[in-house]
Amino acid sequence: MKLFTDFLPIILFFIAYKIHGIYTATEVLIVAAIILMAWQWWRRGHIETMTWVSTLLILVFGGLTLYFHNDTFIKVKPSILYLLFAGVLLFTHWREKPLLERLMGGQLPATLPQSFWRRLNAYWIIFFLFSAILNLVVAYSFSTGIWVDYKLFGMLGITIIFVLFQAVLISRALPQEVKDGDS
């Protein structure tokens, strides 16, 4: 359910683009992002940091897109978000516990070595840098229609493949007794 609600603004953006074009789609994205924040507040009593950051970027770059009637702003927004994620992960990379360990460590055995967490953190940094660059390549090399299709289907597909790759890495790193306990 959470994955669906996180992708709902992008899905609505896609549908609005196909029906009415980029500027209406941008308006829909702004409204959907605000509604998602309100929904999170209503359901959980707080708004996730990622939702705050993403919504702020949508408001700023979506607003610039509408104000200047220039779709470049909304096209670069994902790259800026990905670069922010990579920067935060990089900032915590050499600390006592990388961010991914702090976020996921409670869900995995404490016996996983620090080198594993640093490698996992590094893969996510590389993934976000790759995603930022690829978004810019598609945004500047292809039509807005192709970029919108890529934003929903291409990036979703790339993310799913990367998450599956991460799941394989994590499962290989788990101690044998944890693997045997799941059987």
Model pLDDT, residue 102: 81
Convert the pLDDT of each residue in 108-138 to its tens digit.
Answer: 766 778 888 899 999 999 999 999 999 999 9
* Residue appearing with tokens 């306990």: 181
Residue 175 backbone dihedrals phi, psi, to 5 degrees: -60, 150
- 8 Å CB contact between 63 and 135: no
Question: What is the pTM assigned to this prediction?
Answer: 0.88
Residues of the chain with pLDDT under 70: 1-4, 109-110, 176-183
Residues in Cβ contact with 16 at an 8 Å cutoff, skipping those fewer than 6 apart: 24, 25, 27, 28, 29
Q: Give the Cα separation of 168 and 180 in Å (integer).
A: 16
Model pLDDT, residue 136: 98
Convert the pLDDT of each residue in 23-42 to its tens digit.
Answer: 999 999 999 999 999 999 99
Model pLDDT, residue 32: 96
The residue ranges of every structural domain in the chain are 1-68, 71-174
